[in-house]
A and B are shown apart, each in its own frame.
Chain A
């Protein structure tokens, strides 16, 4: 069995190896190992492999409600709440009423129904309103069976308060404020969820000072993981809509995002509006932040703010005004030894090049937009200063047809790459525009798997590759890859998939690949 503190990569590789061994001998070691692995995958927020593994385990143990619950959890987290409801309802028929698993399954049923309601909130129809009622019913049963089920109770509070805010005619008949007070009357525990639950209860009562205190307690807890923070953040964002409640509340959301991104498996997606709000909230003075977040929370928050500032210099690259093809970022002309009147943007060759080869946009067809800048102009390509094809650096350095928007700065380039994994684990961060319809900035925490950086830091003209593990999506091509310490750019993201390992190591693995900025600069300077 894997060490508890193994890397995400090792955990996923182990899961894949186990899946490849299927079918497992009945009641053998592999079955037991797989069943034990499910909780660990959940805690690390590895929901895609969790869904796959839970399905295999469930084939051999169809009566095991815990496995079905984890499968349903993975389905919800991967955007399939209605499929999750089917799995939960089947499992509920097999568990003893009022048992612990029964309560957990009802909670998850409530969570799936709540998600359906929240997803449709802007254009609710009868089915979505029924989902709200179903969520209330699902949360209410375990709470009525045992008032110690505070997880269910607080969700009941949250859903009822949300319905009241939306002035829904079919709002649940429930005195959620009284319920919140009853939750707060229970003795505190050392569990991190206790602080998150109390924060929500205080929020229901409009007690923002107490909300801050409990969030500070929650975020400082030694035992929290990415799953706990992401779940709490989602609840505060989506159900409580804390982002609409003023600057003080937005600081809390950003503190949670900062903590989440600092944990293994962390990822935050922000809309342009959220990004702008967060940047404005970031101007709060340190003393006030420390009062809300504590000293460590404030440092983590400032680090997150630096990431948000970097996001402003990241642009989406579009085919005309429509589809987003990729990402690019501002770089300083002096770093590349270039004299340019317009701003310089670095992206992939396979996103933009002169001929439109390798599936890229032709230079004249590309529109570049700094999404995080209000009323920023759409730039065109004045010229391609330098490029290197896909099988080399996969890079295109573009001069835009105008100066950069006011206040935007070129991203700072790191003078060294992080150490390789054999010298200790490192994390890297991507900021990009993921695929799909919404204008979202995706901040992703990634484990650095390996790189080809020279030990003497003397980069040549050959491409120097970095591998990191992350669920990057279409649209991230051309994203900057940052070091973890201070948001300096170390690489240009360009590909992902099942890749051969670097440095002559045998075998392949799922990975993403970037090209070291220092090797791009060297190649360019070498002509």
Chain B
């Protein structure tokens, strides 16, 4: 029986089972629905938001919405505090990642938010003009600020395996715990056709495990959506196992890796194509597939799942 292992991306999420149902529904909607259960495909979502966030986001419906008005609709739920770098390397990572998203200082962002909050206010023109992709999208800065916060904190804590206590009485080494969950989910699968479908920071976790965790089982195919793996700062953290010429996780990925990107997706847009950066013995093997999601927030999982090309690919990979 074909099986899909899903893994979600950054920022806080609803409870695991509710998020899982949102993912299944997002695939089953539209003119060309892909109803996995009806098609005899088992699946499971690897959930890790609770490793970083105190409690699940109660506004479940907002995570399914594409209205781009609330933090949950733009992958910005959770309001994490800014990460504190432990050393110069971590500081360099955070500075470089931040520069990918905005050229504004914290004070300028605070001023932009204050301007929005003023009666009849809007963000100053200068804050939205030119600059980085995040600055160019016409979302209010109170939302962009949250997006930035989630991106930096979550990626940092995972890549540098930060010890973190999301709630009283619980403490994790973030990378260790999330790797453990992903690898144990893969080990539990008994399927002749196993495909991993990952989104956002979930693509980084899936890749990290398939390439760098010794006891991670093999899978038949990998699908990445809106992946930050193309960013140099992220790749640097995956060394020494990752190299540009041999970054493909060939020993644990038996079949294809298909990467879907929207060039206007701020998470992957700075360097969206992966084929050049994850070669297998010098040969390009990743298939980069460009799509155009609707609206301003192009990183939305629900929007990627609505793409006919994604569904066609998934059907092929699952052989259904």
**Who on chain A is nearest to B21 by CB?**
A424
Contact A419 B40 (CB under 8 A): yes
5 contacts between A and B (CB under 8 A): A418-B37, A455-B1, A484-B35, A485-B28, A485-B39
Contact A455 B320 (CB under 8 A): no
Q: Which of chain B's residues have a CB closer than 8 A to the CB of A425?
A: 37
CB of A374 within 8 Å of the partner chain? no
In the assembled complex, the CB of B256 is this many whole angstroms from the nearest CB of chain A, namely: 21
CB of B41 within 8 Å of the partner chain? yes
Q: Which of B30, B34, B40, B61 contacts A299 (CB 8 A)?
A: B30
Q: A455-B1, A457-B1 are in contact. Are A419 and B37 (CB under 8 A)?
A: yes
Contacting residues of chain B (245-288) with chain A, CB-CB under 8 angstroms? none
Contacting residues of chain B (21-70) with chain A, CB-CB under 8 angstroms? 24, 28-31, 33-43, 61
Q: Which of chain A's residues have a CB closer than 8 A to the CB of B42?
A: 419, 423-424
Q: Which of A299, A414, A426, A453 contacts B37 (CB 8 A)?
A: A426
CB of B95 within 8 Å of the partner chain? no
Q: Which 5 A-B pairs have the closest CB atoms?
A: A416-B40, A485-B35, A485-B38, A423-B42, A483-B38
CA separation between A31 and B37, bound complex, in Å? Answer: 38
Tell me which of B28, B36, B43, B190 has the highest count of chain A C-beta atoms within 10 A of its own C-beta.
B36
CB of B192 within 8 Å of the partner chain? yes
Q: Which of chain A's residues have a CB closer than 8 A to the CB of B38?
A: 418, 426-427, 483-486
Tell me which of B31, B38, B39 has the highest count of chain A C-beta atoms within 10 A of its own C-beta.
B38
Q: Which of chain B's residues have a CB closer than 8 A to the CB of A299?
A: 29-31, 33
Task: Bits for A440-462, please: 1 = Cβ < 8 Å to B, else 0.
Answer: 00000000000001011100000
Task: Bits for B117-156, please: 1 = Cβ < 8 Å to A, else 0.
Answer: 0000000000000000000000000000000000000000
In the assembled complex, the CB of B223 is this many whole angstroms from the nearest CB of chain A, namely: 20
Q: Which of chain A's residues have a CB closer than 8 A to the CB of B34?
A: 485
Contact A418 B40 (CB under 8 A): yes
Contact B43 A456 (CB under 8 A): no
Contact A417 B35 (CB under 8 A): no
Q: Which of chain A's residues have a CB closer than 8 A to the CB of B37?
A: 418-419, 423-426
CA separation between A415 and B2, bound complex, in Å? Answer: 12
Q: Which of chain A's residues have a CB closer than 8 A to the CB of B1?
A: 416, 419, 455-457
CB of A222 within 8 Å of the partner chain? yes
Category for how many chain B residues contact A: 20 to 34
In the assembled complex, the CB of B104 is this many whole angstroms from the nearest CB of chain A, namely: 37
In the assembled complex, the CB of B189 is this many whole angstroms from the nearest CB of chain A, namely: 11
Q: Which of chain B's residues have a CB closer than 8 A to the CB of A486?
A: 33, 35, 38
**Who on chain B is nearest to A423 by CB?**
B42
Q: Which of chain A's residues have a CB closer than 8 A to the CB of B29?
A: 296, 299
CA separation between A215 and B130, bound complex, in Å? Answer: 45
In the assembled complex, the CB of A220 is this many whole angstroms from the nearest CB of chain B, namely: 13
List chain A positions with a Cβ less than 8 A from chain B: 222, 296, 299, 302, 414-419, 423-427, 453, 455-457, 483-486
**Who on chain B is nearest to A456 by CB?**
B192
19 new A-B pairs (CB below 8 Å) besides A299-B30, A453-B40?
A299-B29, A299-B31, A414-B39, A415-B320, A416-B40, A416-B41, A418-B37, A418-B40, A419-B37, A423-B37, A423-B43, A424-B37, A426-B38, A427-B38, A483-B38, A483-B39, A484-B35, A485-B33, A486-B35
Contact A419 B30 (CB under 8 A): no
CA separation between A416 and B37, bound complex, in Å? Answer: 10
Contact B40 A222 (CB under 8 A): no
Chain A interface main SS type = loop
Q: Which of chain B's residues have a CB closer than 8 A to the CB of A419?
A: 1, 36-37, 40-42
List chain B positions with a Cβ less than 8 A from chain A: 1, 24, 28-31, 33-43, 61, 190-192, 320
Contact A418 B43 (CB under 8 A): no
In the assembled complex, the CB of A450 is this many whole angstroms from the nearest CB of chain B, namely: 14
Q: Which of chain B's residues have a CB closer than 8 A to the CB of A427?
A: 38
CA separation between A418 and B36, bound complex, in Å? Answer: 8
CA separation between A424 and B1, bound complex, in Å? Answer: 14
CA separation between A415 and B315, bound complex, in Å? Answer: 13
In the assembled complex, the CB of B216 is this many whole angstroms from the nearest CB of chain A, namely: 23
CA separation between A415 and B28, bound complex, in Å? Answer: 18
**Who on chain B is nearest to A222 by CB?**
B61
Q: Which of chain B's residues have a CB closer than 8 A to the CB of A426?
A: 37-38
Q: Which of chain B's residues have a CB closer than 8 A to the CB of A455?
A: 1, 190-191
CA separation between A160 and B4, bound complex, in Å? Answer: 57
**Who on chain B is nearest to A488 by CB?**
B38
CA separation between A439 and B115, bound complex, in Å? Answer: 68
Q: Which of chain A's residues have a CB closer than 8 A to the CB of B33?
A: 299, 485-486
CA separation between A222 and B37, bound complex, in Å? Answer: 23
CA separation between A457 and B39, bound complex, in Å? Answer: 12
In the assembled complex, the CB of B45 is this many whole angstroms from the nearest CB of chain A, namely: 11
Q: Which of chain B's residues have a CB closer than 8 A to the CB of A414?
A: 39-40
Q: Which of chain A's residues have a CB closer than 8 A to the CB of B61?
A: 222
**Who on chain A is nearest to B38 by CB?**
A485
Contact B190 A424 (CB under 8 A): no
In the assembled complex, the CB of B92 is this many whole angstroms from the nearest CB of chain A, namely: 44
Q: Which of chain B's residues have a CB closer than 8 A to the CB of A416?
A: 1, 39-41, 320
**Who on chain A is nearest to B1 by CB?**
A455
Tell me which of A296, A483, A485 has the highest count of chain B C-beta atoms within 10 A of its own C-beta.
A485
In the assembled complex, the CB of A299 is this many whole angstroms from the nearest CB of chain B, namely: 7
In the assembled complex, the CB of B220 is this many whole angstroms from the nearest CB of chain A, namely: 15
Contact A457 B35 (CB under 8 A): no
Q: Which of chain B's residues have a CB closer than 8 A to the CB of A483?
A: 35, 38-39
CA separation between A456 and B40, bound complex, in Å? Answer: 11
**Who on chain B is nearest to A427 by CB?**
B38
Contact A418 B190 (CB under 8 A): no
**Who on chain B is nearest to A425 by CB?**
B37
Q: Which of A296, A302, A418 contacts B39 (CB 8 A)?
A: A418
Contact A424 B43 (CB under 8 A): yes
Q: Which of chain B's residues have a CB closer than 8 A to the CB of A296?
A: 29
**Who on chain B is nearest to A426 by CB?**
B37
Q: Which of chain B's residues have a CB closer than 8 A to the CB of A484?
A: 35, 38
Q: Which of chain B's residues have a CB closer than 8 A to the CB of A423?
A: 37, 42-43
CA separation between A174 and B37, bound complex, in Å? Answer: 53
CA separation between A222 and B42, bound complex, in Å? Answer: 27
In the assembled complex, the CB of A282 is this many whole angstroms from the nearest CB of chain B, namely: 15
In the assembled complex, the CB of B64 is this many whole angstroms from the nearest CB of chain A, namely: 11
CA separation between A415 and B31, bound complex, in Å? Answer: 21
Q: A484-B35, A485-B33 are in contact. Are A417 and B28 (CB under 8 A)?
A: no
**Who on chain A is nearest to B33 by CB?**
A485
CA separation between A299 and B30, bound complex, in Å? Answer: 7
In the assembled complex, the CB of A396 is this many whole angstroms from the nearest CB of chain B, namely: 26
CA separation between A423 and B41, bound complex, in Å? Answer: 9
In the assembled complex, the CB of B40 is this many whole angstroms from the nearest CB of chain A, namely: 3
CA separation between A302 and B29, bound complex, in Å? Answer: 12
CA separation between A414 and B37, bound complex, in Å? Answer: 13
**Who on chain A is nearest to B3 by CB?**
A423
Q: Which of chain B's residues have a CB closer than 8 A to the CB of A485?
A: 28, 33-35, 38-39
Q: Which of chain B's residues have a CB closer than 8 A to the CB of A222?
A: 61
